């Protein structure tokens, strides 16, 4: 049915564009649930504890496999901590995670440290106090390993870092106390460059930190050569 209308009624509406300023940003504190995979030690006697942090776009399951591949870790309790920010991998439906982005960076750092402290409290409640605690990080997880060791509530005996640099803000922490460190780098790693490695070594030694370097043929990856170096480092921390 046709509807008759006058000129004013059928005239197109005028769009008024209102210029607005920048939006107000608020951050909202909330709680979420993390995920940690534990291999060995649950309900048993105390063991040395190796806590791992995966790289960007990986997950705890994949990282636990890498921890297990280090020779000699059969006597260690292994814990692979998964980043709080989950998403689907670009190909397929695998759930992967990341640790943080540059957005609200300081808040994310605080959230992640509190998360690791809760993980460590859980492990202590289930297994008793660990005889040794070592944090291991790969790629983006390296920063988490160092932050956990330097800023976390649990004292660490060592940090193993593969393919990632020490977070620069830790150099400015007046109370920072670094444990022994193993830095791993592949000769073809374009992400963790030779220059970054050299800078980390210089900074750590300037703070009188015992630091070892595991240089190997390869790229931004795990290799058997690095696994052997990690194994020797872990063994050197045992009584």
Question: Domain residue spans in the chain?
Answer: 37-237
SS3 at position 11: coil
C-beta contacts of 85-93 below 8 A and 24+ residues apart: 89/57
Residue 168 pLDDT more than 60?
yes
pLDDT at 11: 63
d(CA 73, CA 54): 17
Lowest mean pLDDT, pick from 17-26, 47-56, 229-238: 17-26
Local confidence band at 145 (pLDDT 50, 70, 90 cut-offs): very high
Which one, of 49, 55, 53, 45, lies nearest residue 132 by Cα? 49
SS3 at position 114: helix
Local confidence band at 16 (pLDDT 50, 70, 90 cut-offs): confident
Kindly state the DSSP code that residue 41 receives in the 8-state scheme: -
d(CA 115, CA 229): 29
pLDDT at 43: 60
d(CA 23, CA 133): 45
Which CATH fold topology does 37-237 show?
A: Rossmann fold (3.40.50)
Which one, of 180, 170, 167, lies nearest residue 135 by Cα? 180
Average pLDDT over every residue of 138-164: 97
pLDDT at 33: 97
pLDDT at 4: 53
């Amino acid at each position: 049915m046709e509807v008759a209308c006058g000129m004013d009624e059928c005239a197109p509406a005028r769009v008024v564009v209102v210029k607005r300023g920048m939006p107000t940003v608020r951050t909202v504190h909330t709680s979420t649930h993390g995920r940690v995979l534990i291999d060995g030690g649950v309900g048993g006697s105390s063991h040395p504890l190796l806590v791992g942090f995966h790289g960007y776009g990986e997950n705890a399951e994949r990282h636990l496999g890498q921890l297990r591949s280090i020779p000699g870790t059969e006597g260690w309790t292994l814990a692979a901590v998964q980043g709080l920010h989950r998403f689907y991998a670009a190909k397929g439906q695998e759930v992967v995670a990341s640790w943080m982005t540059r957005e609200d960076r300081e808040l994310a750092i605080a959230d992640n440290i509190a998360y690791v402290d809760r993980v460590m409290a859980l492990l202590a409640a289930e297994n008793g106090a660990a005889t040794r605690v070592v944090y291991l990080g790969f790629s983006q997880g390296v920063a988490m390993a160092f932050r956990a060791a330097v800023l976390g509530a649990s004292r660490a005996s060592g940090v193993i870092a593969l393919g990632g640099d020490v977070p620069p803000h830790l150099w400015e922490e007046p109370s920072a106390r670094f444990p022994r460190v193993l830095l791993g780098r592949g000769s073809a790693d374009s992400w963790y460059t030779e220059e970054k490695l050299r800078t980390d070594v210089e900074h750590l030694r300037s703070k009188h930190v015992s630091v070892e370097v595991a240089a190997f043929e390869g790229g931004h990856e795990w290799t058997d050569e690095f696994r052997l170096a990690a194994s020797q480092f872990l063994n050197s921390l045992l009584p």
